[in-house]
Structure 1
Amino acid sequence: MDNSLIDVYRAADYRVRLTRGGWACIRVDAALPSSLQEMIGRHSWAFITAWNPHSQKQPRAQNHAAQHALLSALRGLLQTVDIRLGIGVGGHWRETSFFVIGPDLAAIDELAQQFRQNAYVHGLGNGYARLRLASDRPPHGQAG
């Protein structure tokens, strides 16, 4: 994965649908909005999608099927506390996503690789949002 793609991920808005309407926006390397901090408490969290594996555009029907499979997998994790609808928005792209509270990095890494995602955004409690490279191809781990 090249640095320009990592830069695109870093610059994106990761929006989470709030219970009472509206959206909270997560930005990489920034603190979470207070509306999300209240929901999370001390739990780990992640913002992940199954759309467009390896950042390669896929047909809408294929993306929807993959997203439903990801939702089922997230619901099946014993650590999952809550799942919210999300949307990732970049310069010329939008991807339906999920904001999941509870699962640890190992569980989300596994799902990201299963659904062939290059990266996802994650954090712990009210700490900063971080970009994690999850592809089975180098580089791996925390994006610097």
Structure 2
Amino acid sequence: MRELHVVDACELAAAYAAAHYAVVLDGDAIPLRVGESAGDVEAYWAARRYAFITAWNPASRPLSEEANNLADARLVARMQVLDLSFHPAWASDHDRQWRESGWLIADVDPSTLDALAGEFGQAGVLHWEHGEPVRLRMMLQRPGDCADRPCVDWRSGADGDRTADAIP
């Protein structure tokens, strides 16, 4: 398990919610946006639920491309061990100044997704049920001074800013 120490979790959630996401299916890059339906993805790849995760920049601290690629390879190996079905994806800011690789996973249960996020030090992941809007799940407790945002879920519980326990 990794500890996340985020300076401003509310700003981080706003940035993640505003980011652009895409998944590559059959050679097409299909966009995803928090709060919007993902009907195009669901039409290409039928599943009950979906999730986006990355291993890049754990705890939202920039790492070298080499370090990020090594973390990504570990995440791929972990998803293979778990027998998950996944496709390449990425996240970027509006101006494409920041971009990181990730994966869209089909039918991963929420506890496994939380555990993967914790294992790879991620402050947030995307998730949604088929037919529902894409949601952002922050792996942190919502700060008391942070207003609720549509389609943003926060980790609850007494463990403060810790991410989920690693899966076996």
* Same structural fold, with TM-score higher than 0.5 when normalized by the shorter chain: yes
What is the aligned-residue RMSD (CA, Å)? 1.8
Counterpart for residue 15 of structure 1:
22
Aligned pairs for 1:40-51 (under 5 A) are 40-51=45-56
Counterpart for residue 122 of structure 1:
127
TM-score, normalisation: structure 2: 0.75
Unmatched segments (≥5 aa) in structure 1: none
CA contact (8 A) 1:51 1:64 kept: yes
The Cα offsets for residues 108-131 of structure 1, whole Å up to 9 and x where unpaired, read as 100000100000111111211000
1:24 and 2:35 equivalent?
Answer: no
What is the rounded CA distance, in whole Å, between the counterparts of 1:42 and 1:98 in structure 2?
15
Q: Using a 3 Å threshold, how does the CA distance of structure 1 residues 40 and 134 change in structure 2: closer, same or farther?
A: farther
Structure 1 counterpart of 2:13, one-letter code: I
Give the match's secondary structure for 2:90.
strand
CA contact (8 A) 2:127 2:136 kept: yes
The Cα offsets for residues 32-61 of structure 1, whole Å up to 9 and x where unpaired, read as 042x11244342111100000011000111
Q: Identify which of 67, 74, 78 aligns with 1:73.
A: 78
Quote how far apart the aligned CAs of 1:74 are. Answer: 1.2
Counterpart for residue 90 of structure 1:
93
Q: Percent identity?
A: 27
CA contact (8 A) 1:24 1:33 kept: no
Quote how far apart the aligned CAs of 1:14 are. Answer: 0.8
Counterpart for residue 6 of structure 1:
13
Give the match's secondary structure for 1:16.
strand
What is the rounded CA distance, in whole Å, between the counterparts of 1:33 and 1:43 in structure 2?
12
Give the match's secondary structure for 1:128.
coil
Aligned pairs for 1:47-62 (under 5 A) are 47-62=52-67
